[in-house]
């Protein structure tokens, strides 16, 4: 009979008059359905969207699960011999029809969930759709929070879901504003909070391939797909915690769910949670729908075409190799790239996709901070926040002794090198011998002077008078050293007054007469 229903007797866009003849369990009933042509059919149906505990079997007297008989009784007192409407939405794996039952008081599935005698059936999400599942999950949540039915003994104290005791920013159910700072993987991100601190978060109910998975070949594409959101201001809703790490729902500036976007494009899958697992996204059903679309369209990890592994030319492997690539890179005015790693305050690793090249860029016009400098780590962290994984443009001038390419870095649509920003923050100092090559000499000196005037960064304890005195002393030392060197290298001169007269007695008289004496 169910096959006939699937083939057209039951339309999914219509509601049919029915009488519930019998309650088999809290989620299974015998429906007597009447069609407009005067025919009718009696059929066993599943109540849409719910799973109730197993009730006692009347024939075998096998006892049911806890609250199974209560669930059955709940439906009997409200549905038996009642005139209702049913809407066919699909069939189970063994072809039992699934129907929404509309009681005069509302959707019976929501009512039994509110009473705590059933839980949401995740596997029916595709039939019911995200919006309908949200209503059912809200009803289930209300039943749990009220401690009704099977949830009486499972009510948790209100403070138990807030996460680590020391965490005051992330609380379950709270939404904060943050900036995506770095991509770890398509389901894990480092976000920058408003106090500039960084926090690792995972997308709830979302799993990207791991490096050991068969689908690991899609990881680079997945990271590149989400990298475009680095630097974007987002809303972060805390759903739960895994140890100390928040499980979150991230809403993008365009209002879209980041996890749903990643899954829809085939770079992650939806976690199938165990029964009772509350570490679930509130948008779980939308994620399931997105995954279904991705599977049908064979996107990303659902594709049969495995992407080729990334292979980049390592241009900074050594000075010799760098010089080989220098001429080609010099001829290009500005080259698009992505900052892959911050090595030191003025040295970063960049990938140039169009050139299929990876290189180390040394910021032109700046003196290098030593590793011992107390400011070094702070500058690295600043660079991580500002340029890591960002789209940039580079301009190459030269190479150094270890294979680093010396040049300018431009961020976003800026026409001024990023080095100016570092100077303005007091995080760098001008290298007078090379600043002219940047073509932005005035900008560099203006930025450095601004940082000096504000006494920030390197210039916190800067004293211009002491600096000038030090410069003058250095000049005096160099001048004295130069004069001493001249004196040491000065050769005897025939016209010096203190020079002893040379003895010429051994020379012939004719020769002696030719010698001019002073």
- Tell me the per-residue pLDDT of 132-183, one tens digit each, with 9 for 90 and over: 999 999 999 899 999 999 998 765 554 444 556 556 689 988 999 999 999 9
User: CB-based contacts of 355: which residues, under 8 Å, 6+ apart?
Assistant: 313, 328, 329, 335
Q: Do residues 258 and 187 lie in contact, with contact meaning Cβ atoms separated by under 8 Å?
A: no
Among 224, 230, 174, 184, residue whose Cα is nearest residue 206: 184
Residue 252: Cβ within 10 Å count: 16
Q: Which residues of 475-501 are buried (b: 16+ CB within 10 A; e: fewer)?
A: eeeeeeeeeeeeeeeeeeeeeeeeeee
**pLDDT of amino acid 502:** 60
pTM listed for this prediction: 0.79
What are the tokens at 247? Answer: 């499980």
Tokens of 255: 């209002």
CA separation for the pair 182, 418 (Å, rounded): 19
Supply φ then ψ for residue 197, to 5 degrees: -80, 160
Q: What is the pLDDT of residue 500?
A: 53
What pLDDT sits at residue 2?
Answer: 45
Confidence (pLDDT) at 165: 54
**Other Cβ atoms closer than 10 A to 314:** 14
Task: Write down the residue that tokens 């029809």 correspond to.
Answer: 97
Phi/psi for 161 (5° steps) reads: -105, 10
User: What does the CA dihedral 113, 116, 118, 121 come to, rounded to 10 degrees?
Assistant: 60
**What is residue 511's predicted lDDT score, i.e. its pLDDT?**
59
- The two tokens of residue 207 are 């799993």
| pLDDT, tens digit, 9 for 90 and up, residues 471-506 | 777 777 888 887 787 887 765 554 555 555 566 666
**Residue of 266, 85, 280, 21 lying closest to 172 (CA atoms):** 280
Q: C-alpha angle with apex 163: 162 to 168, nearest 5 degrees?
A: 75
- The predicted pLDDT at position 160 comes to 44
Question: What CA–CA distance (Å, rounded) separates 75 from 152?
Answer: 20
pLDDT of residue 518: 43
Cα-based distances in Å from 2 to 23, 28, 109:
19, 15, 22
Give the contacts of 404 (CB within 8 A, at least 6 positions apart). Answer: 316, 322, 347, 359, 360, 361, 362
Do the bridges between strand 119-120 and strand 206-207 make them parallel or antiparallel, or are there none, so unpaired?
unpaired
Report pLDDT for 309. 86
Query: Which has the closest alpha carbon to 232: 206, 268, 261?
Result: 261
- Reading the block at residue 495, the tokens are 């016209």
Encoding tokens for residue 400? 């150094």
- Mean pLDDT per block of 10 residues along the chain (518 residues) reads 54 90 94 88 94 86 89 94 92 91 90 95 91 92 92 62 63 94 96 93 96 92 96 95 93 96 97 83 93 95 90 94 93 92 96 95 92 89 95 95 96 92 96 92 96 93 78 78 78 53 62 56
The predicted pLDDT at position 359 comes to 97
What is the structure's pLDDT at 237? 95
Tell me phi and psi for residue 425, to 5 degrees. Answer: -85, 0
Q: Which domains does the chain have, with CATH numbers?
A: 2-154 (2.40.50.90), 161-302 (2.40.50.90), 313-459 (2.40.50.90)
**DSSP one-letter code for 515:** S
């Amino acid at each position: 009979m169910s096959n006939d229903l699937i083939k057209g007797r039951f339309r999914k866009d219509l509601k049919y008059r029915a009488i519930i003849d019998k309650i088999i369990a809290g989620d299974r009933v015998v429906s007597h359905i009447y069609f407009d042509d005067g025919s009718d059919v009696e059929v066993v149906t599943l109540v849409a969207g719910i799973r109730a505990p197993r009730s006692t079997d009347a024939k075998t007297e096998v006892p049911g699960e806890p609250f199974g008989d209560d669930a059955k009784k709940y439906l009997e007192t409200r549905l038996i011999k009642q005139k209702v409407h049913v809407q066919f939405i699909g069939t189970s794996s063994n072809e039992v029809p699934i129907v929404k039952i509309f009681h005069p008081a509302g959707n019976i599935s929501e009512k039994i969930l509110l009473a705590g005698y059933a839980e949401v059936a995740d596997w029916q999400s595709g039939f019911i759709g995200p919006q309908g599942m949200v209503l059912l999950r809200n009803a289930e949540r209300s039943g749990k929070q009220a401690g009704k039915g099977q949830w009486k003994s499972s009510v948790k104290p209100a403070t138990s879901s807030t996460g680590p005791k020391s965490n005051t920013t992330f609380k379950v159910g709270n939404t904060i504003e943050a900036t995506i700072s770095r991509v770890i993987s398509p389901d894990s991100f480092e976000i920058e909070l408003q106090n500039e601190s960084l926090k690792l978060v995972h997308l709830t109910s979302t799993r990207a391939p791991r490096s050991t998975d068969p689908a690991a070949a899609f990881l680079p594409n997945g990271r590149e797909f989400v990298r475009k959101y680095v630097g974007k201001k987002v809303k972060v809703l805390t759903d739960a915690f895994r140890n100390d790490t928040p499980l979150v729902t991230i809403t993008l500036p365009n209002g879209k769910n980041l996890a749903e976007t990643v899954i829809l494009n085939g770079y992650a899958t939806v976690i199938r949670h165990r029964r009772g697992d509350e570490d679930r996204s509130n948008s779980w059903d939308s994620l399931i729908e997105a995954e279904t679309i991705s599977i049908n369209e064979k996107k990303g990890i659902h594709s049969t075409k495995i992407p080729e592994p990334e292979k980049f030319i390592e241009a900074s492997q050594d000075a010799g190799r760098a010089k080989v690539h220098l001429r080609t890179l010099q001829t290009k005015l500005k080259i698009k790239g992505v900052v892959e790693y911050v090595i030191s305050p003025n040295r970063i690793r960049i990938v140039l996709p169009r050139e299929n090249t990876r290189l180390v860029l040394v910021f032109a016009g700046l003196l290098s901070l030593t590793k011992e400098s107390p400011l070094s780590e702070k500058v690295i962290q600043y660079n991580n926040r500002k340029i890591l994984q960002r789209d940039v443009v580079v301009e190459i001038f030269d190479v150094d002794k270890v294979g680093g390419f010396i040049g300018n870095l431009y961020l976003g649509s800026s026409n001024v090198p990023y080095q100016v920003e570092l100077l303005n923050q007091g995080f760098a100092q001008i290298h007078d011998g090379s600043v002219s090559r940047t073509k932005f000499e005035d900008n560099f000196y203006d930025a450095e002077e601004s940082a000096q005037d504000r006494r920030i960064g390197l210039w916190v304890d800067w004293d211009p008078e002491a600096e000038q005195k030090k410069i003058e002393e250095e000049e005096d030392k160099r001048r004295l050293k130069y004069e001493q060197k001249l004196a040491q290298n000065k050769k005897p001169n025939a016209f010096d007054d203190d020079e002893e007269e040379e003895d010429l007695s051994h020379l012939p008289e004719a020769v002696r007469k030719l010698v001019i004496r002073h």
